[in-house]
Amino acid sequence: MSTELRALEDNSTWTLEPLPLGKKPIEYKWVFKTKLKADGSIERYKAWLVAKGYTQVEGLDYHETFAPVAKMTMVHCLLAVAATKNWIIHQLDVNNAFLHDDLDEEVYMTPPPGYYPLGETRSQADHSLFTLITSTNITLVLVYVDDILVAGNDISQIELFKKILSTHFKTKDLGSLKYFLGLEVAHSPKGIFLNQRKYALDSLSDSGQLGARTTLFPMEQHLKLNTQDGDLLPDPGLYRRLVGRLIYLTITRPDIVYAVNILSQFMHVPQVPHMIAATRVLHYIKGCPGQGIFFPSSNSTHVTAYTDSNWVSCPTTRRSTTGYFIQLGTSPISWRTKKENTVARSSAEAEYRAMAITTCELTWLKQLLTDLENVTVDQAPKFIAILTMFFVLYAPSQR
């Protein structure tokens, strides 16, 4: 707590002002967390002093809030490209600091030759990504609130960035990337392996399923969950906590994305059949808690996208379910399963909507890969749609 207060004062987080007449100050609270290493041992203790934001009124107590949060797809892309190009990846922890457009004025008052100001090279595809470029080297900075990944092909350039940043913010150098936001990262000459083994085991322990039997599939085939069959759970918080953990596990487990998407649709009124289905996903995870995704070093930059749509799959709303899976070479970088917003009148309409959603993701990924040191794909993205066969019958007069 003392370290947190000193960091707040050193970073000039606030200024003392007299309280206006008739106004009440916003209350605050302390948030404590024990940060662990991948092996379960204690790395450090952290304390945050935070305002009770739920009592604040927009326009009166604040005007806007912003903290750069990297998308997990961005993390996948960075690791996939870093593995291919054999980049170095380090991790920093910053106390009470947010990188923003004015950082070049604060930190890079006298930038080294060849550097561009950080704010001027912020990625337009993802505002949490910054690039520092010289004629021969590149350094990428990815921000997730107060956790920062620094990747590049020159260790001296990475060390220089960390040194400059540490002169303006309280930082902790965590060295080579090994454990990031619950993600375990393993490096080898063959590539980078990303998994959430510890988080999966913690989820099993928290749910009391460490001794349960394993299953080969996360969900029963043709299972149709709804809100009419089954009794309400006496404590819905247990279900919501479990599904929340499963949602976070989908960062490295695309094999459970569909099942978790179905389960997350019943968070408001969880019932016994929903809990049974969620527990089955845990039994599946228990059989392979260390499964993850691999980014090989010998990889191409050819983008392949798979997409599909399950027409009127929801028995309650009759909406279709859309899914896609995108790879950079053989590295999985983006996947998603979601129920469509409106009812499709035909299987063809559902399939075209799925392809449109996937195309939007591909367009964003193209810009993102361009920002990653102008990474260009080997050729046009290969688009594979798993289409449902259909026939259109019409009279000759309607042609």
d(CA 141, CA 149): 6
As a whole-number percent, the residues of the chain with pLDDT over 90 amount to 45
Q: Decide: residue 157, CB within 10 A, 0-12 exposed, 13-18 middle, 19+ buried.
A: buried
Residues 173, 90 contacting (CB under 8 angstroms): yes
Could you tell me the CA-to-CA distances from 286 to 57, 194, 197, 221, 241 in Å, in that order?
A: 45, 17, 10, 19, 18
Q: Which residues contact 133 (CB under 8 A, 6 or more apart)?
A: 114, 115, 116, 121, 139, 373
Q: Which residues contact 208 (CB under 8 A, 6 or more apart)?
A: none
Element (H, E) at 94: strand 88-95
As a whole-number percent, the residues of the chain with pLDDT over 70 amount to 85
Residues 294, 252 contacting (CB under 8 angstroms): no
Residue 398's pLDDT band, with cuts at 50, 70 and 90, is: very low
Element (H, E) at 333: strand 331-339
Residues 130, 140 contacting (CB under 8 angstroms): yes
Mean pLDDT of 290-313: 91
Q: Which residues contact 285 (CB under 8 A, 6 or more apart)?
A: 200, 203, 204, 218, 249, 253, 256
Residues 383, 306 contacting (CB under 8 angstroms): no
Mean pLDDT of 277-282: 96
d(CA 105, CA 119): 9
Residue 161's pLDDT band, with cuts at 50, 70 and 90, is: confident
Q: Which residues contact 212 (CB under 8 A, 6 or more apart)?
A: 204, 279, 282, 283, 286
Compute the mean pLDDT over every residue in the chain, rounded to the nearest whole number. Answer: 83
399 pLDDT higher than 70: no
What is the reported pTM?
Answer: 0.82
DSSP 8-state secondary structure symbol assigned to residue 19: P
Residue 48: what pLDDT? 84
Residue 47: what pLDDT? 87
End-to-end CA distance of the chain: 75
Tens-place pLDDT, residues 189-233: 999 999 999 999 999 999 999 988 999 999 998 888 888 888 999
d(CA 55, CA 40): 36
Residue 24's pLDDT band, with cuts at 50, 70 and 90, is: confident
Mean pLDDT of 165-174: 81
CATH 3.30.310 domain residues, the chain = 72-194
> Which class does domain 300-386 fall in?
alpha beta
d(CA 281, CA 368): 33
CATH 3.30.420.10 domain residues, the chain = 300-386
Could you tell me the CA-to-CA distances from 135 to 87, 114, 140 in Å, in that order?
A: 17, 7, 15
Sheet holding 170-176, edge to edge: 129-133, 138-144, 147-152, 88-95, 170-176
| Amino acid identity at 392 | V
Task: Name which residue leads in pLDDT, 95 or 242.
Answer: 242
Q: What is the number of alpha carbons within 13 Å of residue 384 lying toward its C-beta?
A: 8
Residue 396: what pLDDT? 38
Q: Phi/psi of residue 183, each to 5°?
A: -100, 125
Mean pLDDT of 254-259: 94
| Amino acid identity at 332 | P
40 pLDDT higher than 80: no
DSSP 8-state secondary structure symbol assigned to residue 122: B
Q: Decide: residue 148, CB within 10 A, 0-12 exposed, 13-18 middle, 19+ buried.
A: buried
- Segment of 22-36, 104-118, 293-307 carrying the highest mean pLDDT: 293-307
Residue 393's pLDDT band, with cuts at 50, 70 and 90, is: very low
Mean pLDDT of 114-142: 73
d(CA 108, CA 100): 13
| CA-based nearest residue to 4, from 44, 41, 55, 40 | 44
Q: What is the number of alpha carbons within 13 Å of residue 102 lying toward its C-beta?
A: 4
Residue 375: what pLDDT? 64
Give the strand pairing for 183-188 and 191-195: antiparallel
The three-class DSSP label of residue 186 is strand
- CATH node for 72-194: 3.30.310
Residue 191: what pLDDT? 95
Find where tokens 């399950």 sit: 310
Mean pLDDT of 379-385: 63
The three-class DSSP label of residue 260 is helix
Residues 50, 29 contacting (CB under 8 angstroms): yes
Residue 324: what pLDDT? 94
CA 326 to chain centre: 15
7 pLDDT higher than 70: yes
Residue 120: what pLDDT? 47
